[in-house]
Amino acid sequence: MAGTNSERILLAEGPAIILVEPQLGENIGMVARAMANFGLAELRLVNPRDGWPSDKARSAAAKADHVIDGTVVYDRLEGAVADLNFVYATTARSRDGFKPVRSPVTAAETLRGRFRSGEKTGILFGREKSGLSNEDVALADEIVTFPVNPAFASLNIAQAVLLMSYEWMKSGMEDHHAVAFDAPEQAQASKQEVIGLFEHVEQALSVRNYFHPPHKKAKLVDNLRAVLTRRSYTSPEIHVLRGIITSLDRFSRPGQITVSSQSGDDGHDGGTAGD
Amino acid sequence: MAGTNSERILLAEGPAIILVEPQLGENIGMVARAMANFGLAELRLVNPRDGWPSDKARSAAAKADHVIDGTVVYDRLEGAVADLNFVYATTARSRDGFKPVRSPVTAAETLRGRFRSGEKTGILFGREKSGLSNEDVALADEIVTFPVNPAFASLNIAQAVLLMSYEWMKSGMEDHHAVAFDAPEQAQASKQEVIGLFEHVEQALSVRNYFHPPHKKAKLVDNLRAVLTRRSYTSPEIHVLRGIITSLDRFSRPGQITVSSQSGDDGHDGGTAGD
């Protein structure tokens, strides 16, 4: 669900996003939402076709009101970049000229470095139909382009903003493999727990003549233990598996019924996956 | 501009994108476009609310017709994943359970590795309003979640698909800093060219008494050369700069006029930046 939550950190810093002559309010709103998703907040519009403020933009922003409320409109791109130190132009095609061309990863790293050293930065995005003009690009320091499918290269403006905002967020993370939350108790179970599982399974199978004929038992145990160790079970998983064995074992081993149903630790409560 | 171009490579391989009970045709279309942008082509829909085919989806797909035409509809998620070997579930919130949680970068690397070894893979995306149910997630192998602004964490479904498609594309690239096109002639100029610029500038300035008083000349030349080397000019840039000096020098140095205007190499044609 979209929306801000006062208990959670609202990230709102980084490069200004500058839309040059955007046409549709919906697109401006989707840009605002994409910015908010990845912690950017400063939106600048150069000469928006349908004026500003825009109800369509606010609606499409899906409660990114802090971005919409802070949006500033300029008549000309020169004014929109005047207070910035370093500016990227996004473009899908090669331009004649001397500006370095960067990937989104490189651009985000550059923007993050300049942000940390106190510079003000911005990223230019062009018109829905025609992108940035060469005159627009001339006001930028460097060009950033996206690694797209060669035969299907046109990105929607909000999606282009989303990718740069996403890379901006990632550039502030130490580890691109890190995640915001983790599954509970992912540590591998101890060998004592694994061996407990082996013995539990093997005992239940043994009374049913699973290990028959006797001279094959060593190989059958080997295979069984290989299957049971291949997945590197966690403690809660071992708990669930032992609950399964206990449950299957119940009512079919005379004299064991009472013991199983009174154990109070049959693992049945451990099956919380899918709750 | 959107559209396919038969002269360019159309990438169309990789994990299936599986939308579980999507509501709006527009969103399905934007998903198809995002997939096409980053080289994915296999779209599966589980029980789409407004039916299939969808004119709204085709329109929003912005000519990603190869994705729309190939879309397959299933009654149940079990059918949509039946032929796959490995499946990710996308989710914005922590789930009770045992599934590993991965970042988009890790997930894309895993999908790429399994793709290269011949496995069929997929990524599940949930309903616009409520995401994936725990029953849906239970059919996946691992979870992938996005590094979003904690207080503004809700991604539009097409944007979530875009990010995974983008990371898929990147996972196939050797260098995340590489770009599809580069600016012409980015190599730094040779020292001979730089020294030629020094001499040209210094000669033009010298006849105008820029280096005055004489005992300051060494320091002034030092400063000038520092400014002219700081930017690491390329050969075409040196060409433009020498053209500027030649032009400024013209008509103001008696006896030099004819020489300058006949040189035929005044750098004026080198100013192609911004064409």
> In whole angstroms, how far apart are CA B197 and each of A69, A98, B244?
50, 18, 11
Contact A101 B2 (CB under 8 A): no
Question: Helix or strand or coil: residue B130?
Answer: coil
Q: End-to-end CA distance of chain B: give it in Å, rounded.
A: 20
- Residue A240: the pLDDT is 82
B60 part of contact set with chain A, CB < 8 Å = no
pLDDT in tens, chain B (275 residues): 344 444 678 787 899 999 999 999 999 999 999 999 999 999 999 999 999 999 999 999 999 999 999 999 999 999 999 999 999 999 987 776 668 899 999 999 999 999 999 999 999 999 999 999 999 998 999 999 999 998 898 899 999 999 999 999 999 998 888 877 766 556 778 888 889 999 998 888 888 888 888 888 888 888 888 888 877 788 888 888 888 888 777 766 555 444 443 344 444 443 333 33
φ, ψ for residue A208, nearest 5 deg = -100, 10
Top residue of A6, A67, A179 to mutate, by most chain B CBs within 10 Å, is A179
Contact A147 B3 (CB under 8 A): no
The rounded distance, in Å, linking the Cα atoms of A257 and B18 is 46
Question: In this complex, which of B96, B150, B159 lies closest to A273 when CB atoms are compared?
Answer: B96
The kind and range of the H/E element at A99 are none
Contact B154 A272 (CB under 8 A): no
A5 part of contact set with chain B, CB < 8 Å = yes
Cα dihedral angle (B107, B112, B115, B119), rounded to 10 degrees?
A: -30
pLDDT digits over A51-105, tens only?
999 999 999 999 999 999 999 999 999 999 999 999 999 998 777 666 889 999 9
Contact B183 A98 (CB under 8 A): yes
Delimiting residues of CATH 3.40.1280.10 domain(s) in chain B: 16-171
- Residue A233: the pLDDT is 81
Which residues on neighbouring strands pair with residue B72, listed in sequence order? B44
φ, ψ for residue A123, nearest 5 deg = -130, 125
- Residue B76: the pLDDT is 96
DSSP state of B211: S
DSSP state of B154: P
- Residue A83: the pLDDT is 94
- Cis peptide upstream of residue A53 (ω within 30 degrees of 0): yes
Q: Quick one: CA dihedral B35, B40, B41, B45, positive or negative?
A: negative
SS3 for B14-76 is CCEEEEECCCCHHHHHHHHHHHHHCCCCCEEEECCCCCCCCHHHHHHCCCCHHHHHHCEEECC
Which residues on neighbouring strands pair with residue B18, listed in sequence order? B44, B124
Domain over B16-171 is classified CATH 3.40.50.2300: no
B143 part of contact set with chain A, CB < 8 Å = yes
* B 189-228 residues inside an 8 A Cβ radius of A: none
B187 part of contact set with chain A, CB < 8 Å = no
Question: In this complex, which of B64, B149, B181 lies closest to A11 when CB atoms are compared?
Answer: B149
The residue with tokens 């079970």 is A233
Report the pLDDT averaged over residues A240-248.
82
- Residue B154: the pLDDT is 86
φ, ψ for residue B121, nearest 5 deg = -130, 165
pLDDT score of A252 more than 70? no
Contact B237 A152 (CB under 8 A): no
B5 part of contact set with chain A, CB < 8 Å = yes
- Residue B160: the pLDDT is 96
> In whole angstroms, how far apart are CA B189 and each of A67, B208, B233, B234, B244?
44, 28, 6, 4, 17
pLDDT score of A195 more than 70? yes
pLDDT score of A17 more than 50? yes
The rounded distance, in Å, linking the Cα atoms of A237 and A185 is 10
B230 part of contact set with chain A, CB < 8 Å = no
Of A43, A7, A33, nearest in space to A159 by CA: A33
Length of chain A: 275
Contact B237 A98 (CB under 8 A): yes
- DSSP letters, A121-154, are EEEEE-BTTTB--HHHHHTSSEEE-----TTS-P
Report the pLDDT averaged over residues A201-227.
86
Contact B155 A103 (CB under 8 A): no
Nearest chain A residue to B179, by CA: A103
Contact B272 A96 (CB under 8 A): yes
- Residue A234: the pLDDT is 80
**What band does A261 get if pLDDT is binned at 50, 70 and 90?**
very low
The rounded distance, in Å, linking the Cα atoms of A263 and A246 is 10
The rounded distance, in Å, linking the Cα atoms of B57 and B61 is 6
A152 part of contact set with chain B, CB < 8 Å = yes
Question: What percent of chain A shows pLDDT beyond 70?
Answer: 85
Question: In this complex, which of A8, A103, A148 lies closest to B176 when CB atoms are compared?
Answer: A103
- Residue B182: the pLDDT is 66
Distance from CA of B221 to the nearest CA of A (A): 26
The rounded distance, in Å, linking the Cα atoms of B32 and B27 is 9
Question: In this complex, which of A94, A102, A180 lies closest to B147 when CB atoms are compared?
Answer: A180
User: Could you give the angle at which helices B191-206 and B217-230 cross, rounded to 10 degrees?
Assistant: 140
pLDDT digits over A148-192, tens only?
998 898 899 999 999 999 999 999 998 888 877 766 556 778 888
The rounded distance, in Å, linking the Cα atoms of B252 and B262 is 16
Distance from CA of A242 to the nearest CA of B (A): 16
Contact A36 B149 (CB under 8 A): yes
